[in-house]
Structures are given as C-alpha cells and as structure tokens.
Amino acid sequence: MSSNEYAKAKGKGASVLFVILGFIMALASLVAHPYSLITGIVGIVLGILATKSHNRAGIAVIITNIILLGIGMIYSGAILAYLRHIMGI
C-alpha cells in the first residue's frame, strides 16, 4: 500500500468519525439544556470537516444539526423535563 492510498484510507476513517460525532452532537443539542448552542455548533463544524473530506454524509450532518439546534434551543427545557419524568429522576 502506497503512502497516498494510506492517507486516503486514514482520511475516510476520520471522515466517518466526524459524521458519527456530528450526529451525536445533533442529538445532544436536544437535551443539553444550557449548552444546546455549543453542541449544535460543534456538530455543524464536524459536518463541515466531514464534507471537506469528500464525504457527502457531512451535508446531512450539517442539516440535521441546524434543525435539531433550533428545536433544542426552543424546547430543550421541556424535552429534558420529559426525559427526567420518564426516567424517574
């Protein structure tokens, strides 16, 4: 395996990691009540990094983070209260 092929394989692995972490940040922006904005922005940045690595899933990460960021900023308190009620905390 040449060094160029190794760099491409390593880049794909990092791109998949960016996509997975981006979706986790999107979900976290729903329930991270005081930190919804921070987790949403981190998710958007991860989506941009995935897109720059030529992974088209990065665009889905960006769109998902924008949508869930908006929902999280408006309803995160209610979502967190509902989850606490369901879990019995």
Q: Encode pLDDT of 16-32 as tens digits.
A: 999 999 999 999 998 88
Q: Provide mean pLDDT across the span 70-75.
A: 89
Distance CA 74, CA 21 (A): 23
Q: How confident is the model at residue 10 (pLDDT cuts 50, 70, 90)?
A: low
